[in-house]
Structure 1
């Protein structure tokens, strides 16, 4: 599948870091890249030299950040002809769910509603070229056919693709940051098969509305879809 619809997502996760805590910020950006599924388990990260150039930090900083994440089980380093830095497969199991402050949860979920429903509305209002239309449908089909181990990653990529085709580059950065926080919480409890079936049906409604050029329907379907995961998050985390 072409990665074209994720061009802006990749720009966001590999954008230069702000001045300050270079090591900590590099670690955080790499974790975001993993959380969002931009690099899948068992896939390799870009080379250290390329990451250093993309982030605007030294190669030593990138190497130290990779070492930190390798020590915690998120990354695996391999030497030799086919070596490099790979996302662990499987990823480390998250800790059991704890109590998340209600105010923090509601802040993140509220922003998610505004960003993702607005992105769906904007995407549906645009005239999409045939390649983008096909790629959006492929993202939906990939999530629908995903194994439990890969479902959240492909679900995330579908939502970020919608944000990207909305055509507002700065929206993608906000969506990616917000989704990474949500995924960290979602990873603390197991997938529920019936919830996945329901989510896939809702995805189809959202994507169909976007492709049909129906902004209000796309927005409404997205809000309904998000309400389901919000209920689970509140139930498990508060």
Structure 2
């Protein structure tokens, strides 16, 4: 890679992230920085203050993102005079490196946005009976209280419960098939604890909007939520 093209890649990865999913986008951007070789294994990342300015986020967000990637083996933090945050050498290898087709990822994630945003809007537009309302809230609470080994399974059940209360039976089968493919990709990288906290807050917004009958808010909240996991998928898989 020439120096000119490397500068172009640096501009692409060191740019402001979206406010709604700042943590997920920062994690994804750091992973891209590593995977593209902008910072090679064994080399140090720019200082936290500089990264915060480049990404237009707080230093706390940068620090949390670095902690997530340090916990999963992508980064190493060193203290002292020659300390800093360094890219791990060697890097951890995903279970299925190089097997994700970007076009397929775009297709599956695009379909997910259509299916789940439409389901959230439809669910919020209906008058749900007490049993449906109780079930939806119970699904949210189950995810919020889930242990890490159970989290993705219960997260899936919540998303499918939203699709089910939309009242369109054929939509459930489409969403289940789509979610199965998404889960296959999610399972190739570890859960990020601080992402779980953010996702749970977003789940509450989605379910609350549906139960309040606020269709626009439900659709906007689920699209914001999906954008966060999409950023992580693209960061880790591409």
Check whether TM > 0.5. Answer: yes
Q: CA deviation at 1:98?
A: 3.7
Does the residue aligned with 2:127 lie in a helix, a strand or coil? coil
Q: CA deviation at 1:96?
A: 4.5
Residue 76 of structure 2 corresponds to which residue in structure 1? none
Large movers: runs of 4+ above 6 Å: none
Does the residue aligned with 2:218 lie in a helix, a strand or coil? helix
Q: Distance in 1 between matches of 2:97 and 2:218?
A: 32
Q: CA deviation at 1:217?
A: 0.4
Q: Write the mapping of 1:23-38 to structure 2, written as runs, cut at 5 A.
A: none
| 1:234 maps to 2:229 | no
Q: Distance in 2 between matches of 1:148 and 1:97?
A: 24
Residue 188 of structure 2 corresponds to which residue in structure 1? 188
Residue 150 of structure 2 corresponds to which residue in structure 1? 150
Larger radius of gyration: 2
The superposition leaves residues 98-152 of structure 1 with CA deviations (integer Å, 9 ceiling, x where unpaired) of: 4411100000000000000100000000000111101100000000000000000
| 1:169 maps to 2:201 | no
Gapped regions of structure 1 (runs ≥ 5): 1-93
Q: CA deviation at 1:228?
A: 0.2
Residue 115 of structure 1 corresponds to which residue in structure 2? 115
Does the residue aligned with 1:113 lie in a helix, a strand or coil? helix
Residue 212 of structure 1 corresponds to which residue in structure 2? 212
What is the total number of aligned residue pairs between the two structures?
Answer: 145
Contact preservation (8 Å) 1:205, 1:221: yes
Q: 1:147 to 1:110 in 2, by over 3 A?
A: same
Does the residue aligned with 1:105 lie in a helix, a strand or coil? helix
Q: Distance in 1 between matches of 2:143 and 2:176?
A: 18
Q: Distance in 1 between matches of 2:98 and 2:224?
A: 26
Residue 72 of structure 1 corresponds to which residue in structure 2? none
Gapped regions of structure 2 (runs ≥ 5): 1-93
Task: Give the alignment's TM-score, normalised by structure 1.
Answer: 0.60
Does the residue aligned with 1:127 lie in a helix, a strand or coil? coil
Contact preservation (8 Å) 1:97, 1:189: no
The superposition leaves residues 148-180 of structure 1 with CA deviations (integer Å, 9 ceiling, x where unpaired) of: 000000000000000000000110010000000
Q: Distance in 2 between matches of 1:180 and 1:215?
A: 26
Q: Distance in 2 between matches of 1:166 and 1:226?
A: 18
Contact preservation (8 Å) 1:120, 1:162: yes
Task: Give the alignment's TM-score, normalised by structure 2.
Answer: 0.60
Contact preservation (8 Å) 1:121, 1:216: yes
